[in-house]
Structure 1
Amino acid sequence: MSESEDKVGRALARFERVMTVIDEKEGPLALQAGRERRLKLERTGRALSKAAMIVLVISVLTIIVGLFMPIGMFGFLAAVGLAGALAMAIFFHDVLKDATAPTVPADLPNDAMVQRFGSYLYQNRRALPAPAQNVVDSISAELGTLRQTLARTDVHDPDAQEARRLMSVHLPGLIDRYANVPPAYRAEADAEGKTIDQRLVEGLTASRSALGDVSARLAKRDLDAFQTQGRFIESKYGSGGNA
């Protein structure tokens, strides 16, 4: 590599680092980070409430039992220990349970599915190469529109089902399988001359396109419905219609 090519390479690397910092502070990544913080606070609040309820229930039961039979110091300590253990178990279970891949029940609302998928992308993006991170960030930036359109769509709608499969099975499966490939083998080209990193970017790009198509089809439904309603009102109540 010549000296000029080396300088260009270093300049591009610096530019990429600067753009990454900007995206993390102001771009779509920052928006997703904000959503993740809010979700974490909500999960923590719900977990604390449930843990406090467990402590309260066990405390009340201990008092009731103590009214009818002496429990002594050891009984009291046992009740305290049981309440603390159950409260901690419930707290950590509820806080950590959504930090996994978006494997979801069939009846989970569409907007909640999009939310879990966004969390999954955010939590796994740093393990991906830079070109793949860029595609993931572009997918994350479009999830707000997708969530808005899917929220009004039935879970069993064909377009909704396609989006849900992409978000819960196909795309997480692609990322998880990439993570299973040892780094030493990711630079090897396959029979078509493409590396694992290139295949990952292609798969993510195709997934982004598919999700965009679903979002566009759903948005067109809303647009068509609005136009139909508008034409009906104009024909019925307009200057040439009947009141």
Structure 2
Amino acid sequence: MTDVNTKVERALARFDRVTRALDERDGASREAAKRERQRLNRDLGKRLARVGVAIGVISVIAIGVGLIIPIGMFGFLAAVGLAIGIAALLAFMPGERTAKAPTADLPNGQMVQRFDSYLYRSRAVLPAPARAEIDAISARLPSLKQSLDRVETLDPKAQDARRLMSIHLPGLIDRYLNVPPEFRRQADGEGLTVDQRLVEGLSAARTALDEISQELARNDLNAFETQGRFIKSRYGEEPIEG
């Protein structure tokens, strides 16, 4: 019986790996991976810029000291060694590899980007139905960011979106991961498993973010239409003077 269970578990694990590989070819997850690579490239650019600044500062200090007190060959080599050491430290300092939820003090646009990264890094450890919901949420984040970038942090709709991205959704995922895997398929009093509760919660969050995004976009559309009507009423009937 144990051998049968082992074979079943191996078959399920292999099936999950295959479906995950196929799933990651979909457009939403591919676009999320592209955005994550862009964020990593920006981080690399910042690291290189810090390396350049550090080397420049050390060079200026070495030249300044050399103008006052001759530093000689040993002093020059010490400055070069210090520059190389600081450059290596800045260049190879480990970056953030684990999923980390956005903090509440981030501006709207940065919070959406951090949340996008959090979803991408959390996706791999979630069951397939939950990954589908994660992809659906990720696909909506670019347009949500564009809308949130133009509103104040204290805007009521922005506050709703910020709470979802920094508190409620990360809390749901983190609590799910805290449940031991062998208990995730046990049904609760309402007949739902932990996996199903996760999908249910992600779906509700996706709907809420959809409504927020649509309302913010509707405000932008109304503002555009108002501006268009104003220009038409102000200039539409008047001849344009040369």
**Whole-Å Cα distance in 1 between the matches of residues 170 and 189 of structure 2?**
25
Q: Deviations over 1:201-236 (max 9, x none)?
A: 111111111111110110111122222223333444
TM-score, normalization by structure 2: 0.80
Matched to 1:142, the amino acid is: R
**Whole-Å Cα distance in 1 between the matches of residues 189 and 88 of structure 2?**
52
2:203 counterpart of 1:200: no
Conserved? CA contact 1:236–1:242, under 8 Å: no
2:24 alignment partner, SS class: helix
Q: Deviations over 1:77-110 (max 9, x none)?
A: 55444433433333345x614865133362x332
Structure 2 CA distance for partners of 1:186 and 1:98, relative to 1, 3 Å: closer
**Whole-Å Cα distance in 1 between the matches of residues 120 and 174 of structure 2?**
14
2:189 alignment partner, SS class: coil
Matched to 2:95, the amino acid is: L
**Whole-Å Cα distance in 2 between the matches of residues 74 and 231 of structure 1?**
75
Conserved? CA contact 1:102–1:113, under 8 Å: no
Q: Which residue of 2 aligns with 1:7?
A: none
2:103 counterpart of 1:104: yes
Q: 2:229 aligns with which of 228, 231, 236?
A: 231
Q: Deviations over 1:161-201 (max 9, x none)?
A: 11111111211121122122221221222232222111111
Q: Which residue of 1 aligns with 2:125?
A: 127
Q: 1:138 aligns with which of 132, 136, 139?
A: 136
Matched to 2:169, the amino acid is: L
Q: Which residue of 1 aligns with 2:5?
A: none
1:25 alignment partner, SS class: coil
Output aligned runs, 1:37-116, within 5 Å.
37-69=37-69, 71=71, 75-76=75-76, 78-93=78-93, 96-97=95-96, 100-104=99-103, 106=105, 108-116=106-114
Q: Compute the displacement of 1:56 (Å).
A: 2.5
Conserved? CA contact 1:58–1:83, under 8 Å: yes
Q: Deviations over 1:39-92 (max 9, x none)?
A: 211110110110122122123323433444455666555544443343333334
Output aligned runs, 1:108-187, within 5 Å.
108-187=106-185
Conserved? CA contact 2:104–2:162, under 8 Å: no
2:225 alignment partner, SS class: helix
Structure 2 CA distance for partners of 1:236 and 1:68, relative to 1, 3 Å: closer
Question: RMSD across aligned C-alpha pairs, in angstroms?
Answer: 3.0
Matched to 2:45, the amino acid is: G
**Whole-Å Cα distance in 1 between the matches of residues 88 and 174 of structure 2?**
30
Q: Compute the displacement of 1:118 (Å).
A: 0.8
TM-score, normalization by structure 1: 0.80
Deviates more, 1:175-184 or 1:204-213: 175-184
How many corresponding residue pairs?
A: 228
Matched to 1:149, the amino acid is: S
Name stretches of at least 5 consecutive residues in structure 2 with no aligned partner: 1-10
Q: State the identity as a percent.
A: 51
Matched to 1:103, the amino acid is: P
Name stretches of at least 5 consecutive residues in structure 1 with no aligned partner: 1-9
Q: Which residue of 2 aligns with 1:3?
A: none
**Whole-Å Cα distance in 1 between the matches of residues 235 and 77 of structure 2?**
76
**Whole-Å Cα distance in 2 between the matches of residues 124 and 103 of structure 1?**
13
1:127 alignment partner, SS class: coil
**Whole-Å Cα distance in 1 between the matches of residues 108 and 98 of structure 2?**
18
Structure 2 CA distance for partners of 1:156 and 1:92, relative to 1, 3 Å: farther
Q: Compute the displacement of 1:17 (Å).
A: 4.4
**Whole-Å Cα distance in 1 between the matches of residues 136 and 84 of structure 2?**
44
Conserved? CA contact 1:110–1:150, under 8 Å: yes
